[in-house]
Amino acid sequence: MSSTIGTTPARQGLGGRLAAVARVVELGPGRVDPKILTEAGQLLLRAGDRLKLSPEHTVVALAGGTGSGKSSLFNAISGLELSPTGVRRPTTARTHACVWGLDGAGPLLDWLQIQWRHRFARASALDKGESGLHGLILLDLPDHDSIRALTDPEADRLIQAADLVVWVLDPQKYADASTHRRYVTELAGHDAVTVFVLNQADRLSPGELAECVADLDDLLRREGVENPVIVPTSATTGRGVDDLRAVLADAVARRRAAIQRLEADLDRLVRRLTKAMPAEGVPPVAASVDDARRIGLTDALCDAAGVPAVGEAMENVYGVRSAEWVGWPYARWAARLRPDPLASLRLNDLKDEIRGLAGGAMSAQPAEVDNAVQALSDGLTTGMHEAWRNAVRDAARSRTAQLPQVLSEELTEIAPRLDRVPAWWRLLLVWQYLLVVLFVAGVAWIGTALAYGVFEVGRIPEGLEAFGDPASLPWVGLMVLSVLGLGLLTAVASRNIVALGAAGERERLEREMRRRVAAVAQSMVIEPVERELARYNEFYAALRAVRG
């Protein structure tokens, strides 16, 4: 059975992977299981502390259950009676540490919280022939299954902190469920920094020992330990102790156990992260909302705010009001004999009507606003993990409660002034009344010529002789018809020009309203969504970096 720890080369970039974990912890709240984030945060703290402490020392923890002979093995490796031993009850109340090469080990032992009275150093005279262990800090942990362990989890803490863990098992309880379920299975993937010692081998015959080792190897592989290192030992007879020392010396010599332990912890964290938040097959997501979806959102919000209705009403009202200014006066006067169309359309106060239209539509259609925002988030999150779909949706809806009111206020600011009269309308009104005067004057001229020139009803007043000449009738009649035709032509042309102007004004108004709606959508919906999309991309980039 192999007696050396796996020597798979450690991956480079531990610092980069830890930085990526920090980014995952920063970006993960609300998306990742809090327990995993807590574990990641603890790993960052532990890694930061360990990397600042002595790289020349390798912390090896002897862990095991009651009666496994862990303390006896500790004494056998150190060559001293440092840790009390017992047969039927746990005797190691506090962790004992034996240090080969004390220089620089103090801060590391302080971090491990090893009490001063339980720290031991190998004297130089006793270290003769054991230079290969220089830099080793060997810990004898309290039994993990003792009554005391239930209230003082010192063993658990040091199993997490040690660079290399040596599990001391005995032939009777090597398959103990508490050890395998609580520790071995959880530490699957830590092959490079885990050693299994089958102690008390002197109690077994060679055949029984080989069978136990084979059974333990099979059990460990089924639990996820790909290349288990198993060392049979006997603290009583000294069998296998030198083999275990060789394994420890190899780990100490390579000075890689601390890095390998952190990398193994990172790998375990990655497995938990990718199980909760799969990284494979994650759809690529653009950092910004595409133009098509921006336009779609703007269109939907414009419909919800009643922008098309405002434009249409403005165009209609513009045309109706123009009739008061650019229509043929005789037609207007005749129209007054009929019911007032403005009254029937309830357009007496059109400015207030239009100004209230946007606000009324918004307050009445919050569901349409919500549907528009929901459609945007649904289109962007196809294929995303549910946690991120919810996050993008919440970002999109983060300000929907204020969105209708803000839209209403923005549109009210640019509501059209329906009482505004263009200057050319006023000039045209003057022209139309001039034609009316000419028409009336022509009719009067014709009447005078007929009365005094044709029917000779009396003597024409002095000074008006020219108006009584019957010979002027054809010319005056032609003038009257020309004035009438010019007035009608002017009215028709003006109405056409007004219609074109109304369409242009509607287009300008709707364009400005769309611009305002698009600006509100950008600040209140799209920007929060884009921040969440950026967070999504950064999270998965960090997750891939953690994987190394």
Q: What is the pLDDT of residue 306?
A: 78
* % of the chain exceeding 70 in pLDDT: 78
Name the pLDDT band for 210 (thresholds 50, 70, 90): very high
Match 């305002």 to its residue by tokens. Answer: 516
Provide φ and ψ at 391, rounded to 5°: -65, -45
How far the first Cα of the chain sits from its last, in Å, is 31
Name the pLDDT band for 247 (thresholds 50, 70, 90): very high
> Per-residue pLDDT for 361 more than 60?
no
According to DSSP, the residues that pair with 194 across neighbouring strands are 165
Helix (H, G, I), strand (E, B) or coil at 136: strand
Q: What is the pLDDT of residue 323?
A: 64
Q: For 66-70, 216-220, 384-388, which range has the lowest pLDDT when averaged over its residues?
A: 66-70
pLDDT per residue as tens digits for the range 399-445: 888 888 888 777 777 766 655 667 666 777 787 778 788 888 888 87
Rounded distance between C-alpha atoms, residue 381 and residue 2, angstroms: 51
Q: Please provide the average confidence, as pLDDT, over all residues in the chain.
A: 80
pLDDT per residue as tens digits for the range 157-201: 999 999 999 999 888 877 777 677 778 777 777 888 999 999 888
* % of the chain exceeding 90 in pLDDT: 27
Name the pLDDT band for 147 (thresholds 50, 70, 90): very low
Q: How far is CA 195 from the centre of its chain?
A: 42
Provide φ and ψ at 267, rounded to 5°: -60, -40
Q: What is the pLDDT of residue 8?
A: 42
More confident residue, 347 or 60: 60
**Beta pairing, strands 58-64 & 164-169:** parallel
Rounded distance between C-alpha atoms, residue 194 and residue 244, angstroms: 12
Helix (H) or strand (E) holding 198: strand 194-198
Q: Return the closest-CA partner of residue 164 out of 296, 253, 291.
A: 253
Q: What is the pLDDT of residue 522?
A: 93
pTM exceeding the 0.75 threshold for the entire prediction? no
Q: What is the pLDDT of residue 523?
A: 92
Residue 232 zone, left/alpha/beta (φ > 0; ψ -120 to 50; rest): beta
Task: Calculate mean pLDDT across residues 60-75.
Answer: 87
- CB 159, CB 63: distance < 8 Å: yes
Name the pLDDT band for 392 (thresholds 50, 70, 90): very high
> Per-residue pLDDT for 123 more than 60?
no
pLDDT per residue as tens digits for the range 277-336: 876 767 778 888 999 999 999 888 888 877 777 777 776 666 666 666 676 676 666 666
Rounded distance between C-alpha atoms, residue 244 and residue 261, angstroms: 19
Q: What is the pLDDT of residue 355?
A: 44
Q: Return the closest-CA partner of residue 411 out of 498, 502, 280, 302.
A: 302
**Beta pairing, strands 58-64 & 136-140:** parallel
Provide φ and ψ at 172, rounded to 5°: -80, -30
527 burial level (CB within 10 Å; 0-12, 13-18, 19+): middle
Q: What is the pLDDT of residue 13?
A: 81
> Per-residue pLDDT for 86 more than 70?
no
Q: What is the pLDDT of residue 9?
A: 41
Name the pLDDT band for 51 (thresholds 50, 70, 90): very high
According to DSSP, the residues that pair with 164 across neighbouring strands are 60
Q: What is the pLDDT of residue 91?
A: 52
Cβ neighbors of 13 (< 8 A, separation 6 or more) are 548
Q: What is the pLDDT of residue 79?
A: 80
Task: Calculate mean pLDDT across residues 454-479.
Answer: 75
> Per-residue pLDDT for 469 more than 90?
no
